[in-house]
Amino acid sequence: MSVRVVAPGRVNLIGEHTDYTGGLVMPMAIDRYTEFKGDRGGDRVQLRSFDEPDPLDLPLHIDHPELAEPAWARYVAGVVAEMRPEEGFVGRISTDIPIGAGLSSSHALQVGVALALGYRGSIIELARLTQRAENRASGVPTGIMDQLAIASGVRGHALLIDCDALSVEPIPVPDDLEVVVQFIAHRTLVGSEYADRVAECRAVEAIIGPLREATESDARSITDPVLRMRALHVTAENQRVRAFAEALRSGDLVDAGRLVTEGHDSLRLLYETSTPVMDDVVQRLCATPGVYGARMTGGGFGGCVVALTEPGTLSHGWVVQAVDGAHVVEA
Ligand code: GLA
């Protein structure tokens, strides 16, 4: 059976490094896509990508996705291992999501592959399945934000996601707000300090309980200075997401921008996931008339920054629109 699937990338507007403690995030699926075209059937998954020199060829039964070759096949193998599809897929992939730039190219690949392989089930289960696939394939204990944003995107809306309840509330992006993404540097979370941050949050929770319920004074009670900084970021960031959703609802774009920039400062000073180049770019953006606020977006240590602006303010970067989530276009 002939199948065409599109899976968007995502940009996170606010709520960074909160998803793996069940906190609040507010990403949106963006008008950059990975597209799959091919035929479902047979007992192998065979894919060629315009961006990879080597194709992948996988069986339907996989025990160790982390060992698949070439390296990009691990993400697909993770999905196959978790999903155990009844049929294979032979096709081609193309993408205009910049790869390894913090816009979730790997998650778009995984959510798209699951749909190409005939996934049937809820969006939440799809996000969970592809999160497990990602964790197995990469060895990085990433949260569920990206998969959920890609799977549940709503045109014209940012998504207020509670990563504990796994509830998604679409919030309209005001017409007079432009979202601009600027690429800073390629990066991978494999081998980065991402896993250290997850471990630090677990250590915090062993002291003060679930971070998603913790208050600033709980965070301040932690004596270890590094753990205290991490906890202060997460507790304040969850508050910022709530306030940001309110600012968008009431059209207070100045306040929305202020919250975004505050979030960046917190990632820079307390969570230490920014880089000097990202800090410079954010500072310059924030000094530009018409820019409401700017911040690093995604896991950090490189990737992209996102700016909220008056329409037409910036000539450099990609103006992105909020779009619907991954779906089968023809089947
Ligand atoms: C990466 C991970 C997400 C999330 C962000 C940080 O994008 O895949 O789960 O943790 O970093 O907010």
Torsion of CA 265, 268, 274, 279, to 10 degrees: 60
Whether ligand 1 lies within 6 angstroms of the CB of 143 is answered as yes
Q: Give residue for tokens 């979030």.
A: 263
What pLDDT, on the 0 to 100 scale, is given for residue 188? 85
For the annotated catalytic residues, the residue numbers are: 146
User: Which domains, from first to last, does the chain contain?
Assistant: 2-171+323-330 (3.30.230.10), 172-319 (3.30.70.890)
Whether ligand 1 lies within 6 angstroms of the CB of 16 is answered as yes
Q: H helices within the chain, ranges in order?
A: 73-83, 105-116, 123-138, 145-152, 194-208, 216-220, 225-250, 253-266, 276-286
Segment 280-283 long-range contacts (CB within 8 Å, at least 24 positions apart): 281/182, 281/184, 281/305
Specify the ligand 1 atom closest to the Cα of 12: 12
| Exposure of 55 in the CB half-sphere (CA atoms within 13 A) | 11
Asked if 291 and 285 touch (Cβ cutoff 8 Å), the reply is: yes
Distance from the CA of 118 to the center of ligand 1, in angstroms? 26
What pLDDT, on the 0 to 100 scale, is given for residue 191? 82
Kindly state the tokens that stand for 135. 């964790």
What does the buried/exposed string (b/e) look like for 91-103 if buried means 16 or more CB atoms within 10 Å of the residue's CB? bebebebbeebbb
Distance from the CA of 41 to the center of ligand 1, in angstroms? 33
What pLDDT, on the 0 to 100 scale, is given for residue 331? 64
pLDDT tens digits in sequence order for the chain, 331 residues long:
899 999 999 999 999 999 999 999 999 999 999 999 999 999 999 999 998 999 999 999 999 999 999 999 999 999 999 999 999 999 999 999 999 899 999 999 999 999 999 999 999 999 999 999 999 999 999 999 999 999 999 999 999 999 999 999 999 999 999 999 999 989 888 889 999 999 999 999 999 999 999 999 999 999 999 999 999 999 999 999 999 999 999 999 999 999 999 999 999 999 999 999 999 999 999 999 999 999 999 999 999 999 999 999 999 999 999 999 999 997 6
Distance CA 22, CA 82 (A): 22
Residues constituting the chain: 331
